[in-house]
Amino acid sequence: MTTKQLEKIKKIIAELEKDYDFNDFIMNYIDEDELKECEDASDVVKLIEQANEDYEITDTEVIYYTNAIEYLKQEDPSLSESIGIAEEF
């Protein structure tokens, strides 16, 4: 992998992680030398998956009620239905 390709992959990762609630930046957990050895996209995905398994970078902590509701709105499509049922009772 060339330096230009490596920089492009790092830029793509940085752009994609903006859309997710990670505890930290992915590149803080990926060895750049290992990334250089990747031959295709599936190798990069495997490297990120391994980093997530090792360091749990995608775990989120829900502490406050408003945070919990926001998280549920995004992750639980049945939230509206559940709230509607609760209001009925």
Q: How many distinct structural domains can be found in the chain? A: 2
Phi, psi angles (nearest 5°) of residue 78: -90, 5
User: d(Cα 57, Cα 49) in Å, to the nearest integer?
Assistant: 10
pLDDT, greater one: 55 or 62: 55
Domain that holds residue 35: 3-55
| Tokens encoding 1 | 């992998």
Structure tokens at 60: 């989120």
Q: Between 56 and 43, whose confidence is greater? A: 43
pLDDT at position 89: 75
Res 62 pLDDT > 70? no
Q: Tell me the pTM.
A: 0.54
Kindly report, residue by residue over 2-31, the tens digit of the pLDDT.
888 888 888 888 887 777 766 678 888 888
Same domain, 47 and 7: yes
Average pLDDT over residues 46-70: 74
pLDDT at 59: 62
| Residues 15 and 44 placed together within one structural domain of the fold | yes
**What does the DSSP assignment read for 42-89?**
HHHHHHHHHHHHHH-TT-----SHHHHHHHHHHH-TTHHHHHHHHHH-
Q: What is the pLDDT of residue 21?
A: 66
Residues 44 and 72 in one domain: no
